[in-house]
Amino acid sequence: MLVECTFCEAVVDGQLIADHTRFDEESLVEVKYSFLKCPKCAQPFIMIEVNHVDDNDGWDEPRRLYPPTDRGISLAIPNSLRLAYSEAYTCFKAKAYIATAIMCRKTLEGIADENEITARNLATALKEMKEKGIIENRLYEWADVLRISGNEAAHGVNFQITHQDAKDILEFTHALLEYVFTFQEKFDQFKKRQSDSKNANAQ
Ligand SMILES: [Zn+2]
């Protein structure tokens, strides 16, 4: 079965180790799970195939369940930023590393916009985000490195980015998005629940 190996970054012919099929009599749906490994690097995959028995179309295309395919970008992240990030990811998969860095920088600008930062340039915007407590010091440092590599990627004709650097830039961007839009929100809700229950207990 063909599968995209995230480690080899190539489509490989996965070797079947085991599979399991379950038929649900109520919905007339057959679901097959296959456990595969990459013939080159031995990375494991779990694939899922679905067959709606009553429509006679046969099995659907296999989909990869593990490792997850969309890098699990949270739905809490605004749509424009999810689009910018997934474009960065597409560039990375196409081995267009300079374009990856440029799209990551664009994602960073989007994070500042979403937080209503009005600074004229990104360097000042990031400082403002740090001062307002939207990002803390370590994330500010990450973000500033992303900004600089994005600048170099956009303006230096001879500038090169290695595979590893592009991968890191992409992962920092992902972490920033999750931090600013997911964890912060979760933490605020957590604090609110705590104070609500304290208030309820006090009454
Ligand atoms: Zn592999």
Give 27-37 pLDDT, tens digit per residue: 888 999 999 99
In sequence order, what are the beta bridge partners of 13?
Answer: 2
Q: Are residues 89 and 60 in the same domain?
A: no
CA distance 166 to 177: 17
CA of 47 from ligand 1 middle (Å) equals: 15
In this structure, are 97 and 142 located in the same domain?
Answer: yes
- State whether 85 and 49 are in the same domain: no
pLDDT in tens, 38-51: 999 999 999 989 89
Q: Is residue 138 part of a domain?
A: yes
3-state secondary structure of 16: strand
* 84 shares a domain with 61: no
Determine the distance from the C-alpha atom of residue 167 to the mean position of all C-alpha atoms in its chain, rounded to a whole number.
12
Distance from Cα 74 to the centre of ligand 1, integer Å: 26
**How many angstroms separate the alpha carbon of residue 44 from the centre of ligand 1?**
9
Q: Are residues 136 and 98 in the same domain?
A: yes
Please report whether residue 74 resides in a domain.
no
Same domain, yes or no: 38 and 110: no
The verdict on whether omega for the bond into residue 67 sits within 30 degrees of 0, i.e. cis, is: yes
Q: Which of 66, 96, 112 is the last residue of a domain?
A: 66
Q: Are residues 125 and 27 part of one domain?
A: no
Shared-domain flag, residues 53 and 135: no
- Write down the pTM of the prediction: 0.61
Q: Establish if 113 belongs to a structural domain.
A: yes
Tell whether 120 and 163 lie within a shared domain: yes
Kind of pairing between the strands at 44-52 and 29-37: antiparallel
* pLDDT tens digits, one per residue of 75-134: 778 888 988 988 998 898 888 999 999 999 999 999 999 999 988 888 999 999 999 988
Same domain membership, residue 9 and residue 40: yes
pLDDT band at 71 (very low <50, low <70, confident <90, very high): low
Q: Dihedral (C-alpha) 32, 38, 42, 43: value to the nearest 10 degrees?
A: -70
Q: For residue 199, tell me if it sits in a domain.
A: no
Residue 161 is part of which domain span? 79-189
**Residue type (1 letter), 154:** A
Helix (H) or strand (E) holding 154: helix 137-155
Number of structural domains, the chain? 2
Task: Provide the 10 A C-beta neighbour count for residue 91.
Answer: 20
Q: Separation of 139 CA from ligand 1 center, angstroms?
A: 32
Q: Are both 95 and 45 inside the same structural domain?
A: no
Residue 196 lies in a domain: no
Cα(72) to ligand 1 centroid in Å equals 20
How far is ligand 1, taken at its centre, from the CA of residue 17, in Å?
15
DSSP state at residue 56:
T
The last residue of a domain, from among 43, 66, 89: 66
